Structure 1
Amino acid sequence: MSAFSLLNPLLVEALAKKGIDRPTRPQELMIPAVLSGKNVLLIAPTGIGKTEAAVLPLLNRILKEKKPGVRLLYVTPLRALNRDMMERLAWFGERLGISIAVRHGDTTQRERARQVRNVPDILITTPETLQIMFQGKLLRRMLENVEWLVVDEIHELARDERGAQLAVAMERLLAVRGREYQRIGLSATVGSPSLIAQYLGSGRDVSVLNVVETKSFHIQVEAPEDEDGDEQLQELFELNEELTRAIRHCKDVVDGATSTLFFVNTRDTAELIGSRYAIWDKTEGFGVHHGSLSKEVRIFMEDRFKSAELKCLICTSSLELGIDVGQTDLSLQFNSPREVTRLIQRVGRAGHQVGETSKGKIVTWNPDDIMESAVCARMAMAGELEEQRIRNNPLNVLANQVISIVVEYTEAAPEHIYKLVKQSFPFRSLKREDFDSVVKALVELRQVYEVDGLLKKTRRGREYFYDNISMIPDQRSYRIVDVGSRHIIGTLDEGFVAGLADGYSAFITRGTTWRVVDIQDEEVLVEQAQELGALPSWVGEEIPI
């Protein structure tokens, strides 16, 4: 008997309209597990219905009994993933009478107000926006009836400070709700399933469903060789011999495929390669995609790639996760990906259908990089992933959460905060003396007041919290604005802008050179230029070592 037989007939009918009449392996396992109320971690390859495996039984539960408030809270690490998830779920929502909304940094004030008036059944958000939702009475009220929490791409969040912040948020959600809720984690690449399950459950039982045998990979490592014409190309590119060869070889690889996602490790590398292809080949076949480009530019690139107007999209981790960019037959990696899990995520974007082999190539030239790439490729094809680590007791996150909790409640007892934070997995071993030392420092910095044994909020602490909601390293950024169209192209970090000069400086973004016309309070006004410009640098460009 199929797992679909456990679902509401309306839901089965909706699936049939999509041409889906039987479940994939993850769905066959996941649907009964979720319907039973278990906390579940599902590990399954990209492209075999992992998201639907979690969402279908929860849609079924929502149909079974209508209740006010947000019932399902769906958390992803990227706003772009939020947008993609909204598009995928909206189709079901319209046919089933289930309201769905997205709330993150790009959500308009009008839409936020509408969500408070008409609370959706399903809310898709990011860890940072969830932090903000704890602060307002009306927003907290939206969370009081949450019955299910889904953390998508959980491996990406669990390993760093964002993960520690989210882990505390899961316990704060429990405090708002006043009773337990069902926890579900999703990932395509987890090297330490039991550890991630402990992170998700934080002392609660979590069933691990590991569906790994259904996806195969074919990954080659290639080192470019000399060819006629490389010297002339080197003069055109204004690059060294090895880099010129590698960029030329990558174009040869792209020309031999139909649709290629071309992954690089940093945003400035994406811009370097994109700009060289722009001056070498004037066709519209190559695009650039990364997190410092505006949302409009990223969507424009994604849509052109889906419609086959672009045959290659040069991208960073901005497209590494589950964003839908249509059919891709090859994943190309420039230099070693440094991590097997990252390589699997990236190559898994190609052959994105059940039963297909995901094909990938790594292009590199340095002997050490070649060996490292070969090891990563071998381990990826063998399904051998690195063990994951979760950082314990990050005190910067602790300080952030102490201030956030005090702002949430106006005042709070240190003992209450200590117990709440310690319930989360990353802080399970937090010593009271370490907690007290952080609180003492916050009091001395006037981030909180201590009065009669209670911690009370301060204006300085409130300002600090809203300026530092995210655990991602950041600095002041400037919008890049095309003076001709007034379109926002992307952002530049303050440190790079400080070295620009009006009328003289030129830099590259979106694979195009732009000349600075004027620098205003929060904007760099630009116009297109013909020559090659400087490569911007952005905070957070370090890659795993």
Structure 2
Amino acid sequence: MQEQAYEAIRGGSDTLIIAPTAGGKSEAALIPVLDDILKTGAKGVACLYLSPLKALINDQEERIATFCRPTGLSLAKWHGDVPKGERGWNPDDAPQFLLITPESLEVLLHEHGPVAALTHLRYVIVDELHAFVESERGVHLRILLDRLDRIAAAPVQRIGLSATVGNPEEVLAWLSGGRGSRRLVAVPAPATEKKFRFVIEPDPGRRIDALAGLVSGKKALVFVNSRSTAESILQEAAGRIKNLHIHHSSVAPAKKREAEEASHGAGGACIICTSTLELGIDIGDLDIVVQVGPPDSVSSFLQRMGRSGRRDQSAFVAWLLADPKELLTSCAVIECAREKRIEPLRPPEKPWNVLVQQIFLHVLSASRAGRGTIVRDLLSLFVFSHFSVEDVDRLLSSLVSAGYLSADGEMLVLGPEAERVFGRSNYRELYSVIPGGGEYRVVTPDGEVVGSLDARFAHRTEPGNFTLGGATWSVVKCDESHNLVVVVPGGHNKGISRVFWSAGGEAALSPVICGAVQRIIARGGTDLPLSETDAEALREAIGAFPASIGEQGLFVRKERGHAGPEVVVYSFAGSRINQVLALLLRGALGRGRVRYDDYRVRVFGAGKAGVAEHVADALHKIPALPPGEASAFLPLPAPDPWKFARTLTEEQFRAMVSTDYYCTADVLQALARTPVVVLHGEEPGPGAGA
């Protein structure tokens, strides 16, 4: 893999390197870049290493320094946790390697001194590329790459690193943007033994007992699917598992470093974690990975499984499951991994939210800017190339009307509304598309950072005690003006509230996993080597679904539920798609109520006689709906997840969420290709008690 990467990179191609976790991707990128710099010399920053996480930069710093020190090359890091005095350099002393996040790069590009060192930039290495592609951070990243081409003397060669991509050629094309030659380096890893163990335990207390037995005396990562679950398990397992730690995005950086360091120490250590430890942070050699409940994607599973099985040992994943249904899903995940069925990555198509950010930054950097110049510059960027001149011009007009911009003829400046909303701290909020205000920093009276809390949780009328990062805290003050919660160590006499976060909760299963579940049900089992106990549990889970479900299609059946008759559409599409399907179905029927989960859509009150056929007929007609009519059935979500959404008109916001949040066109196209089958004979359904 490293040989192929060397050939591709030194040949001048934009390159995407795909290899398993700990497969040597970083070295594959660094060796040809170092080789070129040493042979031809470097004035200023020659290579940017872009990472999605500050923690990953901190972790990779020493790894990259190991290559740089013997060769006399220098490196520096630049992100929000680096003291301001340590950011930047003298004009003649710029580092050859700069490790940075996209948000910090945006800041750097607005600082006249440091940005001059990028004029000789040759390479950009984007680590964990898959973590960017589908998000607005990915849109922002692609804009930054285009802007680097304009700053540098020649187009900057782009190198992407990833362990898991379902559509690598498309992702490489997105990274490169059609600028020149590009190469995919994806050398399959040699087949190795994988060991799995399933523990099904409905009782929460006994699940913790089982967890303690699995990790006792071992180096272990315990992956959960939400921060709330991580905190809950840590609280329940405290005192029962030695050297126990927690790692998620709302834990203080010092607490996360403590967990990472514990994994390198002698003896056993257990870290309860979320996706923050899926990425390339070094946590040493593990004895076991525990997955609590099935993960939401095959990509996540491969990242998590890749954390074990190093140093010629077999990967070992133990699955701690609540019921047979979770076993069915887990078997589907393993089958997909074995067959290399990984979720394709889909970049946003209508990033109006990021377009607003870039308009503000364009005007801010120039103090005032001509309307025509703004339109031309933005439409020349790859991510906005499919927008029209009229799209951008209408957006500029609406921003002027709302007071976000002020016009002096053709010249535009930031308006009073932009100053009111974004003007604090020299418009620092404009440098990132990550929304703020949804979380409050938690600190002690002495200024020690504890972590962060969801704003809704911070505003509880009866605060009481809560646990965060393995300690119990009591709220002293909630400061809304500074998004701050002051806490002191709490006692146990008032009861402890379970901490929650609105964003990043339990995610929907991917359509790839759900499709594999459908195939297992249609086959009546799996060929994975299961114990007899597990095989019986799997048969129980499969038996909860209609026996006549096939490997493809939507299966419609009238069922008897506790609340009366209902029609169930077994779609196996994942709850993100099923949400859209349910809303479109309700709109097409013109009556009834709908509910959905990862595997089905349930329709109540749609009639009596021939109701299954009526629903099936509606499913046939939905793909023919004009896009505008289909979008009208989908309620506008709250704008909070999109940082600049409140600056958009309703029409612009609806176009964005219809395309990139609901993915309406994709759902309609998939529905048009999918056969609809009515299963006759009313039966009690598996959802009768739901």
Both proteins in one fold, TM over 0.5: yes
270, 275, 279: which one aligns with 1:321: 279
Shift of residue 108, structure 1, vs aligned partner: 0.6
Contact map agreement 1:224 1:245 (CA 8 A) in 2: no
User: C-alpha offsets along residues 341-384 of structure 1, whole Å, 9 cap, x if unaligned?
Assistant: 1110111111234x554322322224443322211111113322
Q: Which amino acid aligns with 2:163?
A: A
State the TM-score, normalizing by the size of structure 1.
Answer: 0.85
Distance 1:375 1:473, change over 3 A: farther
Structure 1 residues 432 and 498, CA, compared in 2 at 3 Å: closer, same or farther?
A: same
C-alpha displacement of 1:525: 2.4
TM-aligned CA deviation for residue 172 of structure 1: 1.4
Which residue, 67, 76, 88 being the options, matches 1:101?
76
Task: Give CA deviations for 1:129-150 in whole Å, capped at 9, x if unaligned.
Answer: 1121222222322322211011
Structure 2 Cα separation of the partners of residues 418 and 206 of structure 1: 29
Give unmatched runs, 5+ long, in structure 1: 1-25, 226-240
Change over 3 Å in CA distance of 1:141–1:217 after alignment to 2? farther
State the 4+ residue runs in structure 1 displaced beyond 6 angstroms.
Answer: none
Give yes or no for contact 1:221–1:370 (8 Å, CA) kept in 2.
Answer: no
1:535 to 482, 498, 501: 498
Which structure 2 residues correspond to residues 12-411 of structure 1 after superposition, within 5 A? 26-114=1-89, 118-204=93-179, 205-214=181-190, 216=192, 218=194, 220=196, 222-225=198-201, 242-255=203-216, 258-278=218-238, 280-281=239-240, 284-308=242-266, 311-353=269-311, 356-411=313-368
Alignment correspondent of 1:17: none
CA distance in 2: counterparts of 1:217 and 1:535, whole angstroms: 39
Tell me the distance in 2 between the aligned counterparts of 1:289 and 1:471: 24
- Unaligned segments of structure 2, at least 5 residues: 509-690
SS at match of 2:120: coil
Whichever residue aligns with residue 377 of structure 1, its letter is I
Separation in structure 2 between the aligned mates of residue 441 and residue 221 of structure 1, nearest angstrom:
57
SS of alignment partner, residue 144 of structure 2: helix
In structure 1, what residue type is equivalent to 2:400?
A: V
TM-score by length of structure 2 reads 0.68
Q: Verify the 8 A CA contact 2:225 2:507 in the aligned structure 1.
A: no
Equivalent position SS for 1:306: coil
Q: How far off is 1:254 after superposition?
A: 1.5
Give the CA deviation at 1:479: 3.5
Check 1:174–1:458 CA distance in 2 against 1; reply closer, same or farther (3 A cut): farther
Identity between Structure 1 and Structure 2 (%): 31
Whether the aligned pair in 1 keeps the contact of 2:220 and 2:286 (CA below 8 Å) is yes
- AA matched with 1:490: G
Q: Distance in 2 between matches of 1:291 and 1:342?
A: 16
61-70 or 112-121: bigger deviation: 112-121
Contact 2:146 2:382 in 1 (8 A): no
Residues 340, 385 of structure 1: 8 Å contact kept: yes
Question: Matched residues in 2 for 1:449 and 1:143: separation?
Answer: 33
The correspondence for 1:526, drawn from 488, 491, 511, is: 488
Structure 1 residues 115 and 190: CA distance shift in structure 2, 3 A: farther
After superposition, the Cα gap between the structure-2 partners of 1:413 and 1:221, relative to the gap in structure 1 and judged at 3 Å, is farther
User: Given that residues 333 and 363 in structure 1 are in contact (C-alpha distance below 8 angstroms), is that contact kept between their aligned partners in structure 2?
Assistant: yes
Structure 1 distance, partners of 2:92, 2:245, is 40
8 A Cα contact 1:305 1:312, kept in partner:
yes
SS of the equivalent of 2:263 reads helix
Q: Which residues in structure 2 correspond to 1:425-504 (within 5 Å)? A: 425-458=382-415, 461=418, 463=422, 466-475=428-437, 477-482=439-444, 487-499=448-460
- Of residues 486, 501, 516 in structure 1, which corresponds to 2:475? 516
Q: Distance in 2 between matches of 1:467 and 1:161?
A: 15
How big is the shift at 1:514? 2.0
* Displacement of 1:294: 1.3
Q: How much is the aligned-residue C-alpha RMSD, in angstroms?
A: 2.5
Q: Which amino acid aligns with 2:189?
A: E
TM-superposed CA distance for 1:243, in Å, is 2.7
Q: Distance in 2 between matches of 1:517 and 1:450?
A: 46
Larger Rg: 2
CA contact (8 A) 1:273 1:511 kept: no
Larger displacement relative to structure 2 (378-387 or 390-399): 378-387
Cα shift at 1:248: 2.5
Q: Output the CA distance in 2 between the equivalents of 1:72 and 1:361.
A: 40
Q: Which moved more, 1:173-182 or 1:111-120?
A: 111-120
More deviation, 125-134/191-200: 125-134
Is the Cα–Cα contact under 8 Å of residues 223 and 370 in structure 1 kept in the other structure?
A: no
* Aligned-pair CA distance for 1:506: 0.6
> What SS does the corresponding residue of 1:373 show, helix, strand or coil?
helix
Match of 1:14 in 2: none
2:649 match: none
Aligned residues: 498
Distance 1:258 1:150, change over 3 A: same
Structure with larger RCO (C-alpha < 8 A, sep 6+): 1
CA offset digits 1:210-239 (Å, max 9, x no partner): 1223364626362424xxxxxxxxxxxxxx
Please state whether the residue corresponding to 2:245 is helix, strand or coil: strand
Give how far 1:324 is off. 0.6
